[in-house]
Structure 1
Amino acid sequence: MCTGKCALCVGGSLYPLALISIICNIILFFPGWDVKYSQNGHITEEVKYMGGLIGGGAMVLIPALHIHLTGKQGCCGNRCGMFLSILFAVVGVAGALYSFIVALLGLVNGPHCNQMSDSWGTPFKNRNESYLKHRDLWVICTEPTNVVEFNVGLFSTLLVASSLQLILCAVQMINGLFGCLCGTCRNKEKGPL
C-alpha cells in the first residue's frame, strides 16, 4: 500500500472516532438524560475536563483533516505534506492520550451522585477495590438514575475510541516518515502522460 493511500485510510478512520468522542463527552454532561444535574453542578469531575471534546475531538479532528488531505493529490500530497502529517499526527497522539487519561480517571473514580445518605459526592473514589468488579455496590448512587451504568458505558466508549486514535496516529507518524523519505507514490500511479 502506498503512503498516500495509507494516509487517506488513517484520516478517514479518525473522523468517526473524533465524532464518537465529541458525542460521548456531550452526553456525559446530562446524567440521567436530564439537564438539571449540569445546571446544579452535579456532574462527574472528569466530564468537566472535556477529554472527548478537546482531546479526542478537536485535537484529533484537525490532524485527521490534514492527514486525509495528505493522501489526496494536490498541495498536501507530497513529501512536505507527509512531513507535516507527522507533526499533525503528534498533535493527534497528544489529544488521544489526553482523552484516554481523562476517560480512565472517570472510570477509576466513578460518578458524582446522590448517595443513600442523601449527600452528593463521589462514593467510589479512593476505595481499595474497584467498584467495577462489585456491581452490587452501584446501588449506593440513588440519583441520577442509573448514573453508574451511564458513566461506565460512555467513559468505556471514550477509552476505546481514544485507544484507536492513538494507534492510528502512531501509524500515520510511521507512514508520514516513509512518505517524507520515499514520496507518496501518487505520481507513480498516474503513469506516463
Structure 2
Amino acid sequence: MCFARRARCIGCKLLILALLSIVANILLYFPNGETRFASEHHLSKYVECLHGIVGGGILVLIPAAVFIGLHNDDCCGCFGRGSCGKKCSQLIDY
C-alpha cells in the first residue's frame, strides 16, 4: 500500500490543527481583546510561556511540512509489483 498519499492527508490536517492552536493560544493571551491582563501579569504560566504556540503550533508545523512534501505516488505497491519499496521510504518494515 502507498503511504505517501495518506501521509500528505495527515500533513494537511496537522497544518490546519497547528494553525488553529496558534490562533487559540494568541486569543488566550488577550482575553476579551484587552491587553490589561498581560500588562498586569494576570495570565497563567502556560499562557505566558507560550506553550501552545510553540509546542502545539510551531513544532507541529515541522512534521506537517515533511508529510506534505512526500513525493512518488506510485510507491510501495507490493501486490505483484517488482519495484515495491524501492522508490520511496516506507512507514512500516516488511
TM-score category, normalised to shorter length: 0.7 to 0.9
Which residue is 1:78 aligned to?
88
Structure with more contact order per residue of length (Cα contacts < 8 Å, sep ≥ 6): 2
Deviation at 1:52, TM superposition (A): 1.5
**One-letter amino acid of the counterpart of residue 11, structure 1:** G
The answer to whether 1:17 aligns with 2:27 is no
**1:45 deviation in Å?**
2.1
TM-score, length-normalised on structure 1?
0.38
Compute the displacement of 1:49 (Å).
2.8
Match of 1:57 in 2: 57
- Paired residues of 1:30 and 1:38 also in contact (CA < 8 A): yes
Shift of 1:40: 1.7
Q: CA deviation at 1:31?
A: 1.5
AA in 1 matched with 2:62: I
Kept in 2, the 8 Å contact 1:31–1:43? The answer is no
Root-mean-square deviation (CA), in Å? 2.1
Overall identity of the aligned pairs, in %: 34
Any stretches of 5+ residues in structure 2 without a counterpart? 73-86
Write the letter of the residue equivalent to 1:55: G
Question: Is there any run of 5+ residues in structure 1 with no aligned partner, and where?
Answer: 83-175, 183-193
Structure 1 residue runs of 4+, over 6 Å off? none
Q: Which has the higher strand share?
A: 1
